[in-house]
Amino acid sequence: MQPPPQDHPPAGTTAPGALRVLVVDDDPTVAEVVAGYLERDGYTVDRAEDGPGALERAGVFRPDLVVLDLMLPGMDGLEVCRRLRVKGPVPVIMLTARGDEDDRILGLEVGADDYVTKPFSPRELVLRVESVLRRSHAARAPESVATLGAAGLWVDLVARRATKGGTELALTLREFDLLAFLLRHPGQAFGREELMREVWGWEFGDLSTVTVHVRRLRGKVEDDPARPRLIQTVWGLGYRLDVPDEEAGPRGAADPSSVRTPPDTHASRRDRVPPRAEG
């Protein structure tokens, strides 16, 4: 493992205009390496070693993104993520030393935007941070069409609000982006790889991420998630948003070809951080 870069400001020092990342990990080696790579790329980094400390530092530091270890003393990463979500929509990337798919899916279900399994490449993690932040900031940018809607669902792209039958939906960042994308393309089927590329901005990753978010979104927009009427599974391909025939007209003035997507990113697999022993 290569040591982190040495020419960077102390953790928590704010550089003018720099985005802020809170790194939460009780393994000092992992925290130091991750912070070093992020600081080298121009981020301002603060650190916490446990769950309560993470919540305290988040309140003071006001991070633009949190890199959060799943296994923490005092309070695990899942509970920290839940409490962060109550306070606001800060993006979260979960770190886990476990390869169990159930742990990864549970992290996504509590609102994490991405996860990285140890051992991992710090350079890959930086690219994931860039991707999540890019999507987060692009989501806040004004669009040529203010609203999209169909079948009682409406999204306000400027205010980042979604409603069903006039009732506001509590959507995570990715759930909102996924719903908006499907509303732009009613009746069109998309594979999970394509959704991962168009909605997440990733060229690689675990496709269960898409599956989990579709399931969560169905739970919020369908009258009966077990028998979805809107978000249909296209067997052997992926998913499609169905709307009643009388609503099949344009949902807005936006030309789908004008929707911007982030540039492709490919991560190096070198400089891997060793997994922490769990006991």
What confidence score (pLDDT) does residue 12 get?
44
Torsion angle, CA of 119/124/129/132, rounded to 10 degrees?
-110
Rounded distance between C-alpha atoms, residue 68 and residue 148, angstroms: 33
Does this model's pTM top 0.85? My answer is no
Give residue 182's identity as a one-letter amino acid code. L
Q: Which residues of 196-217 are buried (b: 16+ CB within 10 A; e: fewer)?
A: bbbbbbbeebbeebbbbbbebb
Q: What dihedral angle (degrees, nearest 10) is formed by the CA atoms of 27, 28, 32, 33?
A: -40
Per-residue pLDDT of the chain (279 residues), as tens digits, is 444 444 444 444 444 468 999 999 999 999 999 999 999 999 999 999 999 999 999 999 999 999 999 889 889 898 998 888 777 778 899 888 766 666 666 777 677 788 888 888 899 899 889 888 887 765 555 455 678 888 889 999 888 889 998 899 988 878 888 999 999 999 999 999 999 888 877 766 678 888 888 998 999 999 999 999 999 999 988 999 998 764 544 444 333 333 333 334 444 444 444 444 444
